[in-house]
Amino acid sequence: MKPDYEAQGEPTRYHPLTAQLPIKVATQDVSVRYGDKPALEGVSLEIPDRAVTACIGPSGCGKSTFLRCLNRMNDTIDNARVTGSIRIDSEEVNGRDVDPVVLRARVGMVFQKPNPFPKSIFENVAYGARIHGLADTKSELDDIVETSLIKAGLWNEVSDRLHHPGTSLSGGQQQRLVIARAIAVNPEVILMDEPCSALDPIATARIEELIDELRENYTLIIVTHSMAQAARVSQMTAFFHLGKLVEYGPTEEIFTNPLDQRTQDFITGRFG
């Protein structure tokens, strides 16, 4: 059933094809304030499983704020207040009994700037598996590290130097290391906040290929400033403007047949 957009005042334009996909993440009337300042207002959308959803919109429209709601990263910001419902499968993310540390393994996050720990390549990937008790033996841990690095497309480049520092890798390799670190704790959803903005075009292309491979097994939600990137990697696109979700639907529809004038203006470069 569709959320009641009319209740929010200004309805989101929701493309009809959207309803055909199985849903992994559903938000209902999510709003965020930083102190007195509203940053996100009444966002309701349903994000499909095993697909890439891109969040686009002009600077300051609330894309990163929205992403951070999905794994409760806004909890770490003192003056942030989140209201509304966010469900992953049927579980309420903001439920009292939800442990944010466990949630953040289930909903991993990759940031703009690669942020490996100041530890070896091996330890970067093993760390989460160890603290979540996912390996009983050294050989199980080795397996998790190898499998995660393979899935992140990095194994062939690092298998002979697992004990070198993570920070010795190139920027693009570090970003894939961080993705391997997220994969090692069995996430269901991976959030990416402008994951390529610090990378050169070759490293960017490698991450985009990886995003495409990962969608076979994970739900991916990516914030990007690049409309070309959103068009290349995503199946669904959400357009935000001034803290509101304006339009949501299959990427092809958003880019070729937007329903809202603001989306049209943004994708044709009239603002943003």
Ligand X SMILES: Nc1ncnc2c1ncn2[C@@H]1O[C@H](COP(=O)(O)OP(=O)(O)OP(=O)(O)O)[C@@H](O)[C@H]1O
Contacts to ligand X by CB under 6 A: 34, 37, 39, 57, 59-65, 77
State in angstroms the smallest separation of the CB of 228 from ligand X: 16
From the list 244, 239, 235, the residue with the least C-alpha distance to 267 is 239
CB of 238 to ligand X, least distance (A): 11
**Residue 63, C-beta contacts closer than 8 angstroms, at least 6 positions apart:** 55, 56, 57, 223, 240
Name which of 43 and 121 has its Cβ closer to ligand X.
43
Q: CB-wise, 63 or 181, nearer to ligand X?
A: 63
Closest distance of CB 215 from ligand X, Å? 22
Would you say 126 or 231 has its CB closer to ligand X?
231
Residues 6 or more apart whose CB falls under 8 angstroms from that of 48 comprise 21, 22, 23, 24, 219, 235, 236
User: Quick one: which H or E segment has residue 252?
Assistant: helix 251-256
Nearest residue (CB) to ligand X, 65 versus 148? 65
Widest pairwise Cα distance in the chain? 58
Name the nearest CA neighbour of 243 among 56, 55, 38, 35: 38
| Least distance CB 226 / ligand X (angstroms) | 11
Least distance (Å) between residue 225 CB and ligand X = 6
Residue whose CB is less far from ligand X, 40 or 145 = 40
Of 39 and 182, CB closest to ligand X: 39
In the Cβ-directed half-sphere of 153, how many Cα atoms lie within 13 Å? 17
Q: Smallest distance from the beta carbon of 25 to ligand X, in angstroms?
A: 17
Angle between helices 171-183 and 201-214 (to 10 degrees): 20
Q: CA 155, 156, 160, 164: dihedral to nearest 10 degrees?
A: -50
Chain mean position to CA 250: 17
